[in-house]
Structure 1
């Protein structure tokens, strides 16, 4: 094996390890959270219902995009590596924003501003692949919708 092939294999291996570790960590969160909270009507007055819905939807599209990236990585195609990195960041921020908005945190606007920047970076990266990967297109569109909703708030 030549040195460049070994280096490429190491890079792919490290990328896969990182994505698997990140995915495992994100998947484990509900396990540690315990039983699902029984929902009551005490959140009915929440002013962030649409923001919560859109940011959760954005994270869901991100999960689907990551699944697609991982399948490509398994074949040795790492062309979406940067895309996967930005999507992972977006998923974390959108879920954090949705949680904080659910609890009507006084920090929602501050988190929303950061989330908007992260979503823009993700949309820019996914947009590069939107013509050839439907998951990237869906993720890009969700990020743009999330940005639009955040702009109504901040």
Structure 2
């Protein structure tokens, strides 16, 4: 059964993931071989935007939040897959945050 506490936790997970993605973008742009980080940067940008919107939709209890959670989980998975290809600490931390968010999105969307 879904509770307000579950929603609050999910909102925090979404915004934590967005923050990890934003940090990863900034750090990737400082890397010596920034062109090799293009896909990582692109996916992190998308993921950050999706996570922020997912958190906002959950906060307002939108009628579309469950469908969006499924899409957000897919974007988080793609970002985690890309970030995990890189050895940088910021990429590994981002991948972990993305996996956590994807798992939570799927858990909540399944409890409709």
**TM-score, normalising length: structure 2:** 0.89
Note if contact 1:46-1:104 (Cα within 8 Å) is conserved in structure 2. no
Aligned to 1:95: 52
Unmatched runs of 5 consecutive residues or more in structure 1: 1-44
Secondary structure in 1 aligned to 2:36? coil
Over 6 Å off, 4+ runs:
none
Unmatched runs of 5 consecutive residues or more in structure 2: none
Larger Rg: 1
How far did 1:148 drift? Answer: 1.2
Backbone CA RMSD of aligned residues? 1.6
Secondary structure in 2 aligned to 1:135? helix
Can you list the C-alpha shifts for 1:43-81, whole angstroms capped at 9, x where unaligned? xx4651111010100000001100111112xx4531111
Aligned to 1:7: none
Matched residues, number:
107
Aligned partners of 2:63 and 2:104: how far apart in 1?
A: 18
> Which gives a bigger RCO, structure 1 or 2 (Cα 8 Å, sep 6+)?
2
Secondary structure in 1 aligned to 2:35? coil
1:147 aligns with 2:102: yes
